[in-house]
């Protein structure tokens, strides 16, 4: 028998009545600049000195077939998350201190959405860490991301601050065909104050969405933009929000900031989790305390379904 896991009023779109703050005027995590994501075929990409070179694209990226996508979501290559889930780790203590609470919040949301084990381990692994399968590693650095001159292959991550200003980046590895086997992300410290608080121009809402956005890239989520125009993304019907994976990152601009947008990002994450064999509860129906299901009004279960309720496996 199931019980309600998520039943807060916000899940039902009541925040739509609130005045919605405008997205912060940000030149862009990515914006009109370079993309902020890529992929490799191997898991153990590591720093050699101050530089990590990401040279090989996974076979899935080179496949002729376009990766799956839907309204407001798009995969960048791999189509499956490992059914065993994954653990998110941090490079150093500063990364734990600055990013920890955002990463934990994103991980909790990823657990909710995918039904997979997504754990957070706050013991720093060190910058020389060789990442194994089943892990996502994240760190904060000044100017860490060096995009390739063209395409998404040939990224570098640097530790000497010489990367593109105001650019964070996230990558997934696919050492098993079609599967996200590990990932890593680098958050530009320029988005924070010297003592690790969100900078005044970004703020808390932006920062939550920013971390969820980069973690989305570590799971093979692509940008959800409809065109090359920055911010040109579909808008949701429950409060006008755009996908977390829109660039620049808009997402929820209210207390739900940092959670994956139900109509959009969540659909991509569910596709990835299902691809790996995860058992996901159906959407668009309520499992009440008596175990009875209530259909969503109008039977809408595909796009625009506004009620998201989960049954808890015992
Ligand atoms: Zn991005």
Q: How much distance in Å is there from the Cα of 217 to the middle of ligand 1?
A: 7
The whole-chain average pLDDT of the chain stands at: 82
Ligand 1 center from residue 272 Cα (angstroms): 18
Peptide bond connecting 248 to the previous residue in cis, omega within 30 degrees of 0: yes
Q: What local confidence, expressed as pLDDT, does residue 64 receive?
A: 57
pLDDT tens track for 104-127: 999 999 999 999 999 999 999 999
**Could you read off the pLDDT tens digit of each residue along the chain, which spans 314 residues?**
333 333 333 333 333 333 333 344 333 444 445 689 999 999 999 999 999 999 877 755 455 578 899 999 999 999 999 999 999 999 999 999 999 999 999 999 999 999 999 999 999 999 999 999 999 999 999 999 999 987 777 899 999 999 999 999 999 999 999 999 999 999 999 999 999 999 999 999 999 999 999 999 999 999 999 988 888 999 988 667 899 999 987 899 999 999 999 999 999 999 999 998 888 988 864 443 444 444 444 334 444 444 444 333 33
Strand positions, DSSP E, the chain: 37-40, 51-54, 69-70, 73-74, 86-90, 118-120, 135-141, 145-146, 155-158, 169-173, 182-188, 285-287, 293-295
Residues 73/236, Cβ–Cβ less than 8 Å: no
Minimal CA–CA distance to 138: which of 170, 90, 94, 105?
90
Gap from CA of 29 to ligand 1 centroid (Å) = 7
User: Which residues are within 8 A (CB) of 131 and not within 5 positions of it... i.e. 6 or more apart?
Assistant: 43, 44, 45, 46, 137, 173, 182, 184
pLDDT at 149: 84
The whole-model pTM stands at 0.81
Query: How much distance in Å is there from the Cα of 132 to the middle of ligand 1?
Result: 23
User: How far does residue 4's CA lie from ligand 1's centre (Å)?
Assistant: 32
2: CA distance to ligand 1 center in Å? 36
CATH of 27-273, one of 3.60.15.10, 3.30.70.580, 3.40.50.880, 3.40.390.10: 3.40.390.10
| Model pLDDT, residue 298 | 39
**Closest among 221, 123, 129 to 172, alpha carbons compared:** 221
Could you read off the pLDDT of 243-292 as tens digits, one per residue? Answer: 999 998 789 999 999 999 999 999 999 999 999 888 898 886 444 344 44
Distance 296 CA to ligand 1 centre (A): 33
Dist CA 166 CA 268 (whole Å): 27
C-alpha 30 – ligand 1 centre gap (Å):
6
How long a stretch of residues is the chain?
A: 314
| Residue position matching structure tokens 């932006």 | 206
Q: How far is CA 270 from CA 112, 116, 201, 219, 304, in A?
A: 10, 10, 33, 12, 15
Cα of 314 from ligand 1 centre, angstroms: 36
Q: What residue spans define the domains of the chain? A: 27-273
């Amino acid at each position: 028998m199931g019980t309600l896991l998520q039943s807060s009023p916000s899940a039902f779109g009541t925040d739509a009545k609130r005045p919605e703050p405008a997205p912060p005027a940000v030149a862009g995590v990515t914006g009109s600049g370079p993309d902020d994501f890529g992929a490799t075929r191997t898991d153990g990409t590591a720093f050699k000195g101050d530089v990590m070179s990401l040279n090989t694209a996974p076979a899935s990226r080179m496949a002729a077939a376009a990766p799956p996508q839907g309204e407001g979501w798009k995969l960048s290559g791999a189509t499956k998350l490992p059914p065993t889930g994954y653990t998110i780790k941090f490079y150093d203590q500063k990364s734990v201190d600055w990013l920890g609470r955002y990463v934990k919040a994103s991980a909790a949301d990823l657990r909710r959405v995918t039904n997979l084990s997504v754990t957070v381990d706050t013991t720093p692994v060190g910058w020389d860490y060789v990442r194994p399968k089943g892990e996502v590693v994240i760190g904060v650095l000044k100017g860490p991301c060096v995009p390739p001159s063209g395409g998404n292959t040939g990224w570098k991550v640097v530790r000497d601050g010489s990367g593109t200003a105001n650019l964070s980046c996230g990558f997934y590895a696919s050492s098993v065909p079609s599967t996200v086997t590990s990932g890593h992300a680098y958050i530009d410290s320029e988005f924070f104050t010297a003592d690790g608080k969100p900078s005044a121009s970004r703020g808390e809402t932006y920062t939550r969405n920013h971390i969820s956005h980069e973690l989305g890239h570590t799971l093979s989520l692509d940008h959800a933009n409809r065109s090359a125009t920055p911010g040109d993304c579909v808008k949701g019907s429950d409060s006008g929000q755009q996908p977390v994976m829109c660039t620049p990152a808009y997402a929820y601009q209210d207390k739900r900031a940092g959670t994956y947008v139900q109509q959009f990002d969540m659909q991509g994450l569910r596709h990835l989790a299902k691809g790996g064999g995860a058992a996901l509860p159906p959407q668009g129906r309520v499992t009440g305390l008596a175990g009875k299901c209530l259909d969503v009004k109008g039977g809408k279960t595909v796009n625009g379904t506004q009620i998201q309720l989960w049954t808890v496996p015992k």
